[in-house]
């Protein structure tokens, strides 16, 4: 096992009950070559992954390839909606596609249009889950998601929960690319802390930023969680189906 993973291995050895993990890759529709390289890695390691798809960015060719992958291994690769066009609409402050600058009707229009496009291109392979670009949206967005039949919302764990009945929140706890001065060792330290304190441990990825070396490091983590007796790998659809509202902080 790679030495940088020692803190993660120790944390898993120490937990009383198996720790749940899920992996969410954002921005499908962009950097297709990196996307397929990442999905190959997940299939090789036999770890499931949730892919957040940008409706307006998704080409028919990429949609066909994703639908084939999801159809072949429905439990291994799951697809869901990632915003509409991944465009910022806030005139000031932090970037947000579904933010306070947009009225409810405008947000609803994009949510409906995005869902329709994904259904056209991907068929029944799309889970009723929504990940907003930049992990930000408003309570208005969350209420619209319930009205439109979405079951779950995934953002960063640092965002305030909406606690809207009918909508499970499945936050990511760690951004693979966000590192301090300690680099990859810091990723291991934060993973170990999450294993000891929360469930499930959601890891956010951006395939466009993962080169061969980064995929190699990620593969080492995937092999660890795939093989450790006290680690369980889930998809977000698994969590929703299991009614894991408490576990994911709904």
Please give the class, per CATH, of domain 3-13+24-241.
alpha beta
Assign 245 a pLDDT band (cuts: 50, 70, 90): very low
Structure tokens at 7: 């803190």
Q: Which residues pair with 22 in a beta bridge?
A: 202
Distances (CA, A) of 95 to 15, 92, 153: 37, 8, 18
The pTM (predicted TM-score) of the whole model is 0.94
Q: Which tens digits make up the pLDDT trace of 177-224?
A: 988 788 999 999 999 999 999 879 999 999 999 999 999 999 999 999
Question: Environment class of residue 114 by beta-carbon count within 10 Å: exposed (0-12), middle (13-18) or buried (19+)?
Answer: buried
Q: Where are the domains of the chain?
A: 3-13+24-241
239 pLDDT exceeds 60? yes
């Amino acid at each position: 096992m790679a030495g940088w993973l020692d803190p993660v291995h120790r944390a898993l050895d120490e937990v009383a009950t198996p720790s749940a993990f899920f992996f969410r890759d954002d921005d499908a529709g962009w950097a297709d070559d990196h996307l397929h390289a990442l999905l190959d890695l997940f299939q090789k390691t036999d770890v499931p992954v949730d892919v957040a798809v940008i409706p307006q960015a998704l080409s028919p060719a990429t949609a066909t390839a994703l639908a084939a992958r999801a159809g072949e291994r429905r439990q291994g690769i799951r697809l869901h909606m990632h915003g509409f066009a991944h465009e910022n609409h806030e005139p000031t402050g932090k970037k947000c596609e579904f933010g306070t600058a947009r009225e409810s009707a405008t947000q609803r229009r994009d949510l409906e249009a995005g869902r329709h496009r994904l259904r056209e291109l991907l068929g029944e392979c799309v889970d009723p889950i929504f990940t907003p670009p930049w992990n930000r949206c408003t309570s208005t967005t969350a209420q619209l998601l319930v009205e439109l039949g979405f079951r779950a919302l995934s953002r960063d764990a640092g965002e305030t929960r909406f606690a809207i009945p009918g909508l499970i929140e499945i936050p990511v706890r760690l951004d693979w690319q966000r590192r301090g001065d300690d680099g990859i060792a810091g990723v291991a330290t934060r993973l170990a802390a999450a294993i000891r304190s929360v469930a499930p441990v959601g890891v956010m990825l951006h395939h466009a930023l993962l080169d061969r070396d980064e995929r190699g490091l990620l593969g080492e983590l995937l092999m660890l969680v795939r093989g450790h007796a006290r680690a369980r790998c889930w998809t977000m659809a698994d969590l929703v189906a299991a009614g894991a509202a408490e576990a994911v902080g709904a």
